[in-house]
């Protein structure tokens, strides 16, 4: 029996109705290609991303693109960058922002998707949900884990979530944008180099 293709798996995910009780209904949002070299594992779509179907199509995405040093065209080039949140659909509103990603998604789909991404060289773990799932829960705080990013290379690169809600965290931890962001850009520069010898479009 032949293995399912990535195209077929993405279609299967798009048709998923496991979480049919979601407040806005299921609408899985992810992008992937077998040639992708970088995988971004985030949290879950917000209402704007749910409405557009475009991952990171919000203020958090603008911030993440700046950290990565990429313009929109390069960021959304699925031949080089795959995007897979911990929860594929908008989880609903909680008392303090959106609810956490639904727990059904990652165990159901992540391993199957990753198995069909043979060229991934680096996975960005954006936020505590992605980090806890892939790195395991730790006594380290999120700040400590991000500060120790070198320990997780070459497979993973942990990042704080770029949500506007984390502006206070960023102001209290200036080392992140001073030290970690340039290191992230340097990691991505070589990984996303075009086969023809060019480089992806880098944002200023």
pLDDT at 94 (0 to 100): 84
Residue pair 39/126 in contact by the 8 Å Cβ criterion: no
CA 61/CA 55 separation, integer angstroms: 8
Lookup: tokens for 63: 């911030």
Closest CA to 120 of 89, 151, 78, 68: 78
Closest CA to 100 of 83, 85, 82, 84: 85
Closest CA to 30 of 108, 98, 97, 96: 108
Closest CA to 82 of 121, 131, 47, 30: 30
Closest CA to 185 of 167, 164, 163, 200: 200
Residues of the chain with pLDDT under 50: 1, 194-204
What is the reported pTM?
0.92
Torsion of CA 29, 52, 188, 70, to 10 degrees: 180
pLDDT at 2 (0 to 100): 52
CA distances from 145 to 2, 122, 182 (A): 40, 17, 17
pLDDT at 166 (0 to 100): 94
CA 56/CA 61 separation, integer angstroms: 4
Length of the chain: 204
Q: Is 41 left (phi over 0), alpha (psi -120 to 50) or beta?
A: beta
CA 119/CA 105 separation, integer angstroms: 23
């Amino acid at each position: 029996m032949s293995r399912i293709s990535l195209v077929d798996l993405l279609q299967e995910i798009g048709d998923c109705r496991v979480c049919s009780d979601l407040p806005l209904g299921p609408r899985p949002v992810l992008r992937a290609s077998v040639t992708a070299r970088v995988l971004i594992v985030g949290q879950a779509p917000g209402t704007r991303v749910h409405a557009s179907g475009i991952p990171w199509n919000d203020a958090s995405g603008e911030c993440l693109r700046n950290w990565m040093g990429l313009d929109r065209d390069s960021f959304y080039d699925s031949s080089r960058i795959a995007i897979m949140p911990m929860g594929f659909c908008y989880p609903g509103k909680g008392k303090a922002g959106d609810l956490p990603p639904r727990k059904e998604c990652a165990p159901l789909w992540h391993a199957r998707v990753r198995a069909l991404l043979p060229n991934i060289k680096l996975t960005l773990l954006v936020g505590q949900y992605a980090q806890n799932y892939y790195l395991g829960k730790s006594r380290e705080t999120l700040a400590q884990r991000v500060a120790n990013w070198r320990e997780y290379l070459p497979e993973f690169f942990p990042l704080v979530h770029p949500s506007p809600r984390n502006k206070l965290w960023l102001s209290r931890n200036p080392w992140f944008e001073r030290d970690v962001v340039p290191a992230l850009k340097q990691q991505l520069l070589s990984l996303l180099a075009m086969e023809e010898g060019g480089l992806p479009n880098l944002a200023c």
